[in-house]
Amino acid sequence: MSLRINDTAPNFTAKTTHGEIDFHSWIGDSWAILFSHPKDFTPVCTTELGYMAKIEPEFTRRGAKLIGLSIDPVESHGKWVADIEETQGATVTYPMIGDTDLAVAKLYNMLPAEEPGSSDGRTAATNATVRSVFIIGPDKKIKLMLTYPMTTGRNFDEILRVLDSMQLTARHKVATPVNWKHGDDVIIAGSVSDEDAKKLYPEGWAAPKPYLRIVKQPR
């Protein structure tokens, strides 16, 4: 069965570079970013994991944990981090899952169900579909799913932007418009009547159309 937004993120236990974890217990009361890559010691993946290491403090500041995944064993991850640090100038401190039997990849539909259950002899090309991102909330619900092609490195600044939007809209009855960034104006949610909106925003709002009510970002 395919996963959908607001499904409960499937729980699992797995070996990681930080030891064995139970995923839901590891998330705790935090947000979580689960992101997979095709294979260790490959060029695009090296740049991606290095960049995530650089901006990890931004996720921490937002109460979000990072965890990587590939079908390589934990030992391979451990050796690869030296290359990441050397070439990208950042040290990976977040855990990386060694999904050698593809159990988590299949659980999260990162690979087709008919994929073989072993990582033996697999190459980055074999795992072309495994460049996925899941944002999971403290309620263990899936909030976002993205899958990129193998040749295209992800924009992890976009993941931060979306996380900002989701955390803001979880606290306030607003939505964020196209290309919104933290601090930009927002849109009053369609579920809020004008009468209720006047109580929330007594200074009023701009409305080029009745359904498009624009206000300053709530604090």
pLDDT at 150: 81
Q: What's at 94, amino acid-wise?
A: Y
Please say if 112 is a catalytic residue: no
Name the pTM for this structure: 0.91
Q: What is the mean pLDDT of residues 38-47?
A: 94
Q: DSSP secondary structure string, the chain?
A: ----TTSBPPP-EEEEBTEEEEHHHHHTTSEEEEEE-S-SS-HHHHHHHHHHHHHHHHHHHTTEEEEEEESS-HHHHHHHHHHHHHHHS----S-EEE-TT-HHHHHTTSS-TTS-S--TT--TTTTTT--EEEEE-TTSBEEEEEE--TTS---HHHHHHHHHHHHHHHHSSEE--TT--TTS-EEE-TTS-HHHHHHH-TT--EEEETTEEEEPPP-
Q: Which of 32, 45, 104, 130 is catalytic?
A: 45
CA angle 134, 23, 96 (to 5 degrees): 70
Contact 31, 135 (CB under 8 A): yes
Q: What is the pLDDT of residue 102?
A: 87
Per residue in 128-145, pLDDT (tens digit) is 456 899 999 999 999 999
Please give the structure tokens belonging to residue 44.
């695009």
pLDDT of residue 18 exceeding 60: yes
The pLDDT of residue 123: 61
Percent of the chain with pLDDT over 70: 91
Give the mean pLDDT of 161-176: 97
User: What percentage of the chain reaches a pLDDT higher than 90?
Assistant: 82
Domains of the chain: 13-152 (3.40.30.10), 172-215 (3.30.1020.10)
